[in-house]
Amino acid sequence: MPEAVRMWVEISFNVAYLIVVWGLVIAMWRRRGRVAPADRRVANHIMWAFALLALGDTGHVGFRVLAYAQGGLETNLTLFGRQLGLVGLGALATAITVTFFYVLLLEAWRARFNRPYGWFGYLLLAAAALRLLLMIPAANEWNNVVPPQPWSIYRNLPLMLLGLGVAYLIVRDARAAGDRTFTWIGVMILVSFACYMPVIFWVQQAPIVGMLMIPKTLAYLVIAGLAYQSLYCPRLAPGVDRVMHITT
Q: Where are the domains of the chain?
A: 3-232
- CB neighbours of 146 closer than 8 A, spacing ≥ 6? 203, 204, 207
User: Is it true that domain 3-232 has CATH number 1.20.1070.10?
Assistant: yes
Enumerate the H helices of the chain as residue ranges.
3-30, 40-69, 86-113, 118-134, 151-177, 180-202, 213-227
Element (H, E) at 145: none
- On the question of pLDDT at 6 being above 70, the answer is no
What is the pLDDT confidence band of residue 8, given thresholds at 50, 70 and 90? confident
pLDDT of the residue at 73: 64
DSSP 8-state secondary structure symbol assigned to residue 147: P
Q: Could you tell me which residues are beta bridge partners of residue 84?
A: 77
Provide the phi-psi class of 246: left if phi over 0, else alpha when psi is between -120 and 50, else beta. beta
- Per-residue pLDDT tens digits for 191-240: 999 999 999 998 878 888 888 989 999 999 999 999 999 999 876 434 33
Total number of residues shown for the chain: 248
What is the residue type of 12? S
d(CA 88, CA 99): 17
- CB neighbours of 129 closer than 8 A, spacing ≥ 6? none
What is the residue type of 89? L
- On the question of pLDDT at 241 being above 50, the answer is no
